[in-house]
């Protein structure tokens, strides 16, 4: 018996919502297949991610869920990567989400959304060193999520569109941990208030189905300035996107990708072209994707 689950890529932080905001984006997806075998754990990957289950996000999730729910027997875990690793698009979160959903179905656990998110969060320790839930919650639940004491999901506006620019840069395997280390541990009160106001405005934009408010709220005076040097051309990319019709833009997760927020009436090709020119001004090529918010992870037939 085997089960395959698909989970979409995600963008975390979205400007002011560091470690709290996540948005599932229909740009890329991962698929995880779990197959029963007589004993042990066997992992199959394409080589872009570790094949050691103890170092792979999907492997960590499966091991944790097997312990939690006292499930014995061997499993073969096949990870089909579609989300580019290390680019700020929730690659580890997508694999973790798909693994959690697949394990739940394979064993007939019937877990609720919050339980699935908690289980998937274990996979983030492979890339970030600690469990955090912004990306995995978005990939498990779909739409826009706020990860705090619990997870709140808000359905995005039907007219919201995203333009993502993924620069052609090499990133180290430890990129997520290194990027998190750049974020200041202490911040001035004025900066805290600025980010809090922007985060509240963005949440209100999602709640009121207002793409323009969402985009205008994509500002961050704490984490993004500290990480800006890791995204050469960031200012030009953001400026170009807004001039071409986007409502705002921000580093996607820990970067180096940049996400811009627009609505269905915008010329998305014009926005992505402007973002490409922004990276080109820094001597960097990029690929771009125009897409919409993504739905929840699901079992494939």
Instruction: Outline where the chain has alpha helix (H).
Output: 57-68, 91-106, 113-121, 125-128, 134-141, 175-182, 189-207, 211-216, 223-227, 234-243, 268-280
Q: Any idea which residue has 């639940």 for tokens?
A: 141
Q: Check if 78 is active-site.
A: no
Identified catalytic residue from 124, 125, 224, 288: 124
What CA–CA distance (Å, rounded) separates 177 from 196?
A: 24
Place of tokens 């009436």: 265
Number of H helices, E strands in the chain: 11, 11
Through-space distance between the first and last CA atoms of the chain, rounded to whole angstroms:
13
Q: Is 176 a catalytic residue?
A: yes
Secondary structure (DSSP) of 153-219: EEPPPTTEEEEEEEE-----TTHHHHHHHHS-SS--HHHHHHHHHHHHHHHHHHHTT-HHHHHHT--
Q: Please tell me which residue in 4, 45, 176, 230 is annotated as part of the active site.
A: 176
Q: How far apart are CA 219 and CA 224, in angstroms?
A: 9
- Which of 252, 256, 258, 254 shows the shortest CA–CA distance to 275? 258
DSSP state of 16: T
Active-site positions?
124, 176
């Amino acid at each position: 018996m085997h089960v395959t689950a698909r989970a979409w890529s995600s963008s975390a932080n979205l400007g002011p919502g560091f470690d709290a905001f996540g948005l599932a984006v229909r740009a890329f997806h991962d698929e995880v297949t779990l197959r029963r075998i007589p004993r042990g754990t066997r992992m199959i990957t394409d080589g872009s991610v570790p094949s050691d289950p103890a170092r792979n996000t999907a492997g960590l999730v499966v091991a944790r869920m097997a312990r939690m729910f006292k499930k014995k027997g061997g499993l073969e875990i096949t990870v089909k990567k579609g989300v580019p690793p290390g680019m700020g698009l929730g690659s580890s979160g997508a694999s973790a989400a798909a693994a959690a959903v697949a394990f739940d179905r394979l064993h007939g656990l019937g877990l609720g959304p919050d339980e699935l998110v908690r289980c998937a969060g274990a996979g983030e320790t492979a890339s970030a060193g600690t469990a955090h839930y912004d990306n995995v919650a978005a990939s498990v639940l779909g739409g826009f999520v706020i990860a705090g004491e619990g997870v709140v999901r808000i359905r995005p506006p039907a007219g919201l569109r995203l333009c993502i620019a993924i620069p052609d840069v090499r990133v180290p395997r430890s990129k997520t941990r290194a990027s998190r280390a750049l974020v200041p541990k202490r911040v001035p009160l004025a900066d805290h208030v600025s980010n809090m106001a922007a985060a509240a405005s963005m949440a209100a934009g999602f709640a009121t189905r207002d793409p323009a408010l969402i985009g205008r709220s994509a500002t961050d005076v704490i984490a993004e300035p500290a990480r800006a040097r890791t995204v050469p051309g960031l200012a030009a990319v953001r400026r170009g996107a807004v001039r071409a019709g986007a409502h705002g833009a921000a580093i996607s997760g820990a970067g180096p990708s940049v996400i811009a927020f627009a609505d269905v009436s915008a010329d998305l090709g014009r926005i992505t072209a402007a973002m490409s020119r922004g990276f080109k001004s820094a001597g960097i090529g990029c690929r771009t994707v125009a897409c919409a918010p993504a739905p929840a992870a699901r079992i494939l037939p």
